[in-house]
Amino acid sequence: MRNLTRLVLVFAAVLLACTFSSAADAPKVVGTWDAVASTPNGELKSVITVKQVDGALKAEIELEGAKQVVTDEKLEGDVFRMKVQYEGGVYDVEMRVTGDAMEGTWQGGGYSGTLKAKRRP
């Protein structure tokens, strides 16, 4: 019976270590990012701010000097997703986080393009 108890304790310790390891390994999306999107009308610069509020991610995005409504923020592994309301449409944004950089795509309103962002120091 003691061996079974030890085995359960070892298993629990390994499981706990794996949980903390994957949380620590997850990319950190929280911060302020300078972003540039490629659009049919040329480059569009923006500032993306991601915060953690009550355990959930909340993003703000400023495009052309105006804050836009952002919803459905999610970080799944190293991929950050959000929906941005802009000029009457809703745009899906998906970016892969790699250290202090994000790169991905946006699409909506029949258009799509790429997006790159760099974390501010």
- How far is 36 from 47, CA to CA, in rounded Å? 9
Give residue-wise pLDDT tens across range 77-117.
Answer: 999 999 999 999 999 999 999 999 999 999 999 999 999 99
Domain limits of the chain?
28-119
Are 67 and 73 in contact, with CB atoms under 8 Å apart?
no
41-62 pLDDT, tens digit per residue, is 999 999 999 999 998 999 999 9
Architecture of domain 28-119: Beta Barrel (2.40)
Residue 57 and residue 50 in contact, taking contact as beta carbons nearer than 8 Å: yes
